[in-house]
Amino acid sequence: MLTAEQIRNTEFQKVGFNGYKSSDVDFFLEEVAESLEMATRQNEDLIQKIQILAENIEEYRAAEDSVKSAILNAQKTGDAILREANDKAQAIADEMLADAKQKVQQAEIASQKMIDEATVKSRDMLDEATIKSKEIVVEAEAKAAALVADTEKKLGQQLITYNYIKDEIKNFKETVLDSYKKHIDLIMNTQVVNKNIEGMDAKFNSENE
């Protein structure tokens, strides 16, 4: 039969993280030990009473058969009481110990459940974060592609404008140069005409003299 000291010194093997709350188990084992001590004290009282009865039996052995019969019945009753007390004490200890083990198992199951739920939740959060990061990357790539396309479009338009201005400047230069050439040719022709006129005037004047 277990003693109160053995119950107090009983240790349970931990499984996983925070398998059980040690303070609750210690408190429960202390209650079991106190209950067993109470039952043991009751047994000791019963044993003392039985010893007293046994002593009285020795004193009255010479008494009548009725007294002997009463003593025999008392012995049987005492033995029965002692056995019943021992059985009850053992049953109480076994029941309390089984209840303590059951509570420890329940605590381990609950803690494992919490660990499993936390693991599933962390995986879900990781999957969600992965999906969001992919969405952000896709959106950023789309924006970058749109920005590149818009920039290329603007550069194309600017290039067209630049080529147009370049052609206009070239045409303007050619027009100015052509006008300037015509103007020079006109000036040159005018000078030739003036010289011819001057030559004719000089000839006419010499003839008239």
Number of domains forming the structure of the chain: 1
CB 37 within 8 A of CB 56: no
Q: Is residue 172 one of the residues assigned to a domain?
A: no
Tokens linked to 27: 């408190």
Q: Is residue 197 one of the residues assigned to a domain?
A: no
Q: Is residue 109 one of the residues assigned to a domain?
A: yes
DSSP state of 14: -
Q: Is residue 186 one of the residues assigned to a domain?
A: no
Neighbour tally for 131: CB within 10 Å: 10
Chain-centre distance for alpha carbon 86: 54
Tokens linked to 100: 């303590």
Angle at which helices 65-208 and 22-59 cross, to 10°: 180
Give me the tens of pLDDT residue by residue for the chain, a chain 209 residues long: 566 676 667 666 565 555 666 776 777 777 777 877 888 888 888 888 888 887 777 676 656 566 567 667 777 887 788 788 788 878 887 888 888 788 878 878 887 888 888 888 878 888 888 888 888 888 888 888 888 888 888 888 888 888 888 888 888 888 888 887 877 777 777 766 666 666 666 665 666 65
Can you give the residue range of the structural domain that contains 67?
4-143
Q: Is residue 183 one of the residues assigned to a domain?
A: no
Closest CA to 53 of 82, 85, 88: 82
Q: Is residue 156 one of the residues assigned to a domain?
A: no
82: which residues sit within 8 A by CB, 6+ positions away?
43, 46, 47, 50
Q: Is residue 56 one of the residues assigned to a domain?
A: yes
Spatial distance between the Cα atoms of 1 and 85, rounded to a whole number of angstroms: 13
Chain-centre distance for alpha carbon 83: 58
